Structure formats: C-alpha cells, structure tokens
Structure 1
Amino acid sequence: MKKYSQLAEEAFAEEVTIDYTSLFGGEPYQISGAKQVEMWREQMEGLDSWQHITTSVLIDLPQPGAASKTPQTAQVIANCIVNLKRASAKGDSEIRNGGRYEFEVVRTDNDGNPWRISMLKADLVWFSGNSDVMGGLGKK
C-alpha cells in the first residue's frame, strides 16, 4: 500500500477543491492536496476498518485529433461505495454509503502520468448505518 504522502504527490494537484456538501452540508473548501490527504489519514486512523470502492470511471476527453490543442483539464465521473467501521461508536458500529464522485483533473508537468485531481465532489445517493461512526474523527 502506498504511503499517504505518496498519494498526495501522485494523485492531487497542489490546491484541491473538496465538495462534501451532499454528505455533511456546509460549503466546498480549498485545501492543499497534501493537507487533505493528511486529514483523511487522521480520520482513517480512528476507524477499525474502512473500504472505499471507486468503479465505472468515465473520463471526458476529446477524441484524438479532434482538439487543436492538448487538453489541460478533464472531467471524470465514477461510482463509489464506502464502508466504515468503528467499534467505539455509539450505537451501530458501521456506516455505508454510495453515490458518485465528480472530479476535475488538470495536466501538470510531472513525468509519467501528468494528470492530478484539482476538484473532488461527492454526490451522495444512498446512506445506511450510524453517522456517529464518523463523529469526532480527525479532530484534535
């Protein structure tokens, strides 16, 4: 498994817009990719187990030869399912949800895969279990 710092370097742009409003309310926010990955690491350390499944990834890029210039951004949509477990939660120890992720990726000058996530939006479709499983995770 890759280290969290490696994930930040290989997956995220320097600045990322995160939109979890369909899950938690509030407003979308901007954060450095490295700081967002660190926040997720802290949250996951408070769980007994977790699973994030991302599938059916569709990337919207022009057909080869159709664009006069190399695209600098692309839109991505994917289905997702999340399972989290924390035995110390009040009530049921599990939470499950699913929906879609919408991403915007930007082209960088990085060697290898030049694409990095610059926006991540979670669009909640269904939810079951105990929301207290996430209560207080990653907060110091």
Structure 2
Amino acid sequence: MSNSQVVDRLLITETVTRMGRHIDRADWPALAEVLAPEIALDYSSLYGGAPHRVSRDELVGRMTRFVAALDMVQHLILGVLATVDGDKAIAAANVVAVHRKATHLGNPLWTVAGTYDFGLVRTGDGWQIDALRLTVLWADGNQHLRPAPPSS
C-alpha cells in the first residue's frame, strides 16, 4: 500500500468520524464541511420509506431538528474500512448511537446500533460524504424518544 493510499484512508476515517462528532456537538457549519453538495441518503432500515437524494443544507437542517428534539445524542463510529478508487471512495463502519431525553414515558435512553455505508468524493476541500446508508442491527430502550425521521 502506498503512502497516498494510507493518507487517503486516514482522511476518510477522520471525515466519517467528524460527521458523528459534529452531529453530537450540534456543530452545523462543521457538519456541512464533511458533506458533499448532494447526498444519497438511506435511513429506510430505521424509518422505512425509500432512499432519496438531499442537498447538504437540507440534511444539515434535518439533523439540526432531530438533535434539537433530544437532550443528548452520541454517535460512536468505529472500525472504519475504506476503499479508495481515484477521487471516489466507499467506507463501512460500525455505529452505536445513544439518544437521551428526560421524559415521563419511561427510560430516558434509546440506543440504535448497526452499520454505516458511506460514499465519499475527493474535493478541493478534502473528502466529503456523498452517500450515507444506515443498516440497523439492533435497538434497545425507549422508542418513544425517537424523534420524527430526519426527513422533513
């Protein structure tokens, strides 16, 4: 493996890790920096529906509303495996997302775990995510905490 391949894999790992961190910290300008202008989005394993395309601004807006409905959220994105093909890449990672909201409906935690599949593109600003698919493997806790899907 060449040095440039190693560097690309490290930069891709950083990009997908930053996505989760920026969502957790509600740092919306920083989240926008790791997203391509248009993203193929698939959260159908969590919410149903069909994969669709969204603009960067639309996705940041959805995430803003999603996080605002909670007291706390934390995404642990681990085990990133990236494959680079020129200026395009794919990456797979494990994810555990913990959502917290004090409520009268029971347990204040809802946890979702699964995998993320990313598509990425190299730009003048570095690697950016242009595709995101969540595959839920398990969920636990109070599903009453689940905000409306980040789709509107």
- Please report the TM-score for the alignment, with normalisation by the length of structure 1: 0.82
Residue in 2 aligned with 1:107?
Answer: 122
Q: Report how many residues are paired.
A: 128
Residues in 2 aligned to 1:2 and 1:94: alpha-carbon distance in whole angstroms: 19
Question: Of the candidates 99, 102, 115, which is equivalent to residue 84 of structure 1?
Answer: 99
What is the RMSD of the two structures over their aligned residues, measured on CA atoms?
2.2
Residues in 1 aligned to 2:89 and 2:41: alpha-carbon distance in whole angstroms: 16
In structure 2, do the counterparts of structure 1 residues 132 and 57 end up closer, same or farther at CA, with 3 Å as the change threshold? same
> Larger % of helix: which?
2
Is 1:36 aligned to 2:51, yes or no?
Answer: no
Question: Of the candidates 49, 69, 85, which is equivalent to residue 46 of structure 1?
Answer: 69
Could you list the runs of 5+ residues in structure 1 that have no partner in the other structure?
63-70
Question: Of the candidates 4, 8, 31, which is equivalent to residue 7 of structure 1?
Answer: 31
> SS state of the match for residue 53, structure 1?
strand
Residues in 2 aligned to 1:61 and 1:14: alpha-carbon distance in whole angstroms: 20
Residues in 1 aligned to 2:71 and 2:88: alpha-carbon distance in whole angstroms: 37
Q: Which ranges of 4 or more aligned residues in structure 1 deviate by more than 2 Å? A: 88-93, 135-140
Larger radius of gyration: 1
